[in-house]
Copies of this chain bind each other. A is one copy, B any other.
Amino acid sequence: MIHNRIALYRVERGLSRKELAVAVGVNPQTIGFLERGSYSPSVELALKLAAVFRVPVDSLFSLTPFPALATQITSDHPQRSESDHDELTLPANARPV
């Protein structure tokens, strides 16, 4: 089971699915499928998505659920600590967006 933050990053960057699809060279439906179901694309696609968002693959895909945003945001202008982007220690019942 794979979890991802594609919808999150996409919306944050103000991209439509079609735009993102074009950017990584797949069909818009593939993006849609990726965002709602949790399915595991090829690393190639994962790398392209990560490149578009300019984030490491590990912050886009995870074997464990991503924590909900509310549990991560401590301030509107957080000073980044080094290890913010990885692991979770939180309940699995929290729905990642």
- Listed in ascending order, the chain A residues whose CB lies under 8 Å from chain B are 2, 5, 8-9, 12, 40-48, 50-51, 54-59, 61-63, 69, 72, 84-86, 89-91, 93-97
Contacts and interface: CB of A to CB of B under 8 A. Distances in A.
Contacts of A41: 42-43
Indicate how many identical chains form the complex.
Answer: 2
A3 to B, nearest CB: 10
A52 to B, nearest CB: 10
A40 B51 contact: no
Contacts of A46: 43, 46, 57
Question: Which of A41, A56, A94 has the largest number of chain B CB atoms within 10 A?
Answer: A56
Nearest to A12: B97
